[in-house]
Structure 1
Amino acid sequence: MRMNQVFAGFLICGLVVGAGCSSSMKGSGSSWFGGSSFKVQAYETKTLPNGLTLIYVKDESLPKVEIQAMVKTGLRQEAKEKAGLNSLVASLLSQGTSTRSAVQISDAFNALGTEFSASAGVDAVVANADALSSDADALLALFADVLMKPTFATAEVNRLKSQRIAALKRRIDNPGNYSRRKFSEFLFSGTSYSRDTAGEVETIQALRQTDVIKHYLANYRPNNTIVAVTGRFDAAFAKKVEDVMGAWTSREIKPPAAEQFPVTETLSVKLVSKKGLAQAQVLLGRPMIPRTHADYLALRVANEALGGGFGARLMQRIRDDLGLTYSVYSSLGSNQETGYFQIATFTKNPSTGQTLKEVLKVYETFINEGITDKELASAKAQIVGQYPRGLETADSVASTLMSLNLLGLPLSEIEAYPGRIEKLSLKEVNEAIRRHFKVGALKALVYADRAAVGTQIQEFSPIVETAR
């Protein structure tokens, strides 16, 4: 079984449409770029009367069925002083319901050869479980019980709080993960996206059972949830899914408060220091346009040329030419309300300053000169060529469709995406670079031992913070 992150199948012909369901939307399953034999698996979507969105993706290759659920609740749905609440609620879903104890739930899933997993991201909680198709009815009953009827017993809340606090105290031991957390805090300072989904020791300690229950009731509603069913199943099972999920009571969902996201206009460097670190983690970036912006795909291509792979500029210069690191890459990410651009690498302590300066040089050239025709062709080929790999299974198709829904994009984007990439011109890409990037307008974080690297980056007048 696998856990989905951050978010078509064989068309279900003759599927019984539940009474009161909206008209279904079906993916065409057609080829989406010139001459390719790959086809997005067909899919069907429905909206139940209670507002729940259903996605069906049929796959007869294995006698297996999987149920996924995405609940649209993340960092923006929890108060700053209750950081980690959303993640704690997700972890507590399977720790007792009105009909089963935590042990009974675990045993029931184990009897099906599976387990229930729930993971909280910055914008949504994703849960999933799978089983043999012959056990589909039992899987549905268990999954619905956990999703719709958790009780959040005080003893379970306190037990998971203790586990979470212990894990938070250990997070500093992983330099890569810790530096990424601190970078998000720096990049999105003052907003919900600056917080760790797991929370902080102090905020977790302060959470109570009443906080957990209130958060669940406010956000875990059918009209705030997408459920995907994938694998080998028939129309009768699809009807059962609609009956079970259709019994969930809807409730008005209060939208999170609007936030003003930071604008990065100058270079700002922060040094987070921990004694004894033998190498430095170096991250640079800036808030960026959301996935729904018209220029996003042009920047996706630009990013591929800058730092998307071994042939990209950053890797060629920082690794191949200068030998400063084993890996350096850039990425373009998307949240519900905004996006972000990031460059990440690591290096030995003595080369920290040089690495930061060389990365800045590559970034500046990228903005001033744009990318070339050759880089454009290579980036397009890389993006379009890799795209089918992420859609090889029915569950990955369902996850992609759920993510498109979460980000406010039409589901048709799953098929349109490669063609839209291929149509981009060099002029469009380079104009997008100039519109959304600015020389020196970055936030940079170095996670290292100040005694070893401080003098190398002192010209940047870094903000200094001690890791804790």
Structure 2
Amino acid sequence: MKTFFSALCRAAMVLFLLTGQVVAYEITEQKTPDGYDFTYVHMPKANRTAVSIAWVGGYGFLSSRKENIEELGPILMINGGAGGLSPDEVVARFNAIDSGARLYLDDDALRGFIVAPAKDLGEASTIANKVLAEPTFDPRWLKRFQRNYVENVRGYSKTPKGQAWLSLRNITVGNHPLRQVWNGTPTQNISSITIDDVSDWYARTVTTDGLEIAVAGDAKPTAVAEAIDTALRALPSQNAREDLPPLQMHYPAKTILIHRPEAEKSFILIGGPIPPSYSVDYEALQLATGVLGVSDQSRLFTAVRKELRASYGFSAHFSDFTRANGMLYMQGEVETAKLQKALETVQRTYETFRTVGVGMVEFPFAHRIFKNRVRSNMDKPDTIAHLLTEAQLTGRSSSSGLQYLERVEGLSRAEVNAAILRHFPKFDDMVKIVVSPDRDAVKADCVISAFSDAADCR
């Protein structure tokens, strides 16, 4: 077996600065006895191994109004029992060997993780195979998950934050199927999904072709290969996955007021386009967003909370809606009496930051915090496996995926500020959504009473 693997390995070396020392991670391309290719990073100091499996391809085959299978399908598989085991028994089997598994769907792949100590990786993969190859699909569990899902969506829609986000997605996504996926509305579409629908999704999706597999940890490659074969045993070989049509998000340059007389406080949500993750300047934009609004020392928190005293907190973040659509957003609950002034303060603070950038004093502190946060995760097998899979799914090399820390280390203030000016949208071009009990609290271009009317403001 050692000769078999030695003949198939193609090695590349990636160097990282971790806690002040140079640590060499060797990336090798391996193949299992059953023929599955996988990328492997040996981490001899780790105490467990993470196996990441991505079933590449979307769920564009789902019929209209059935899109929320993307949430219910993986939940039912991982939490609904499998292979003659009840849900509690599946969890107990994993817990008994200090292991775990996760299954969830992105718009471009079903994602699965198995994490276990090296000595128990085979047993963890056996349990995972029950989940993948023998899900119970009990209608009673489906009804339970549907009920919880619907209750969560309805409860969220009653909050100012929920109204803001549901409106933002209605406005920016339009009639694309992903709107139903992300909003879960109308909720009757969730309730209408049947076991037959889930079974059809499963048969089309969970197969052995179109796989991207990445592994990191202390287990030997031969043991990893056997575990992968075990996890995928007895799955069908042909998938019927289809990608959704491309999404082009729309950001009207408007201020939209959602009048909710029953709301106790107001909420501001502001969004605009930004390059998605793993684009050029990704690390620079992460650092910039941190300075703008991630901590209680950030520009926005200081301006809105500490100086104006209009909120308990105001933050900024960016995330991907799809691989091609990133969003920068700013949000916070705000005292209604200071709502207009808070909106003006956010605009002034943001535009100053966008045009001037990170300050000379701010940058060293922000850079050090960013580096330390990245370093603290780079010795974790699940982080490394995730970065490898993200590289696979975005068409980048494995070494590029693991050079994240190197790119963070090399950031300069000039580079970050150039990225801010190049990529952060102008405030006036962003969509501003305000939820308030006061209909006249801000100067608005469009006034509605609920997120369901948001399309009127496009």
Sort the TM-score into its range (normalised by shorter chain): 0.7 to 0.9
Q: Give the partner amino acid of 1:388.
A: R
- Residues 127-276 of structure 1 correspond to what in structure 2 (within 5 A)? 127-128=112-113, 130-131=115-116, 133-172=118-157, 176=161, 179-197=164-182, 199-200=184-185, 201-229=187-215, 231-245=217-231, 247=233, 248-252=235-239, 254-264=241-251, 267-276=253-262
Q: In structure 1, what is the Cα distance between the partners aligned to 2:121 and 2:29?
A: 20
SS at match of 2:432: strand
The correspondence of residues 289-438 of structure 1 with structure 2, limited to 5 A, is: 289-334=275-320, 335-424=322-411, 428-436=415-423, 437-438=425-426
Structure 1 moving runs of 4+ over 6 Å: none
Relative distance call for 1:224 and 1:262 in structure 2 (3 A) is same
Q: State the TM-score, normalizing by the size of structure 1.
A: 0.79
Tell me, yes or no, if the aligned pair for 1:187 and 1:287 is still in contact at 8 Å: no
Count of residue pairs brought into register by the alignment: 446
Partners of 2:215 and 2:413 in 1: CA distance:
40
Q: How far did 1:141 drift?
A: 0.8
TM-score by length of 2: 0.81
Supply the distance in 2 between the matched residues of 1:417 and 1:113 (Cα, whole angstroms).
29
Greater Cα offset, 318-327 or 114-123: 114-123
Q: Secondary structure, in 3 states, of the residue corresponding to 1:386?
A: helix
By how many angstroms is 1:193 displaced? Answer: 4.5
* Secondary structure, counterpart of 1:316 in structure 2: helix
- Counterpart in the other structure of 2:432: 444
Relative distance call for 1:388 and 1:132 in structure 2 (3 A) is closer
CA offset digits 1:252-294 (Å, max 9, x no partner): 5644143241343x52223334443222221111122222432
Hey, what's the Cα distance between the residues in 1 that align with 2:60 and 2:316?
Answer: 26
Distance 1:306 1:140 in 2: 43
Change (3 A) 1:351 1:411: farther
CA distance in 2, matches of 1:323, 1:17: 66
Q: Distance in 1 between matches of 2:408 and 2:121?
A: 39
**Residue identity opposite 1:83 in structure 2:** E
1:281/1:179 Cα in 2 relative to 1: closer, same or farther (>3 Å)? same
What is the aligned counterpart of 2:66 among 76, 82, 107? 82
**For the residues of structure 2 that align with 1:324 and 1:68, how far apart are their CA atoms?**
44
Report the Cα offset of residue 140 of structure 1.
1.3
Aligned counterparts of 1:427 and 1:61: Cα–Cα separation in 2: 37
Structure 1 residues 27, 87: closer, same or farther in 2, change over 3 A? Answer: farther
Give yes or no for contact 2:314–2:333 (8 Å, CA) kept in 1: yes
Match for 2:175: what amino acid? G
Of residues 90, 93, 99, the one that matches 2:77 is: 93
The CA distance in 1 between the partners of 2:147 and 2:8, in whole Å, is 45
Q: Identity over aligned residues, as a percent? A: 17
Q: Secondary structure at the match of 1:455?
A: coil
Amino acid at match of 1:162: R
Unaligned residue ranges in structure 1 (runs of 5+)? 1-13
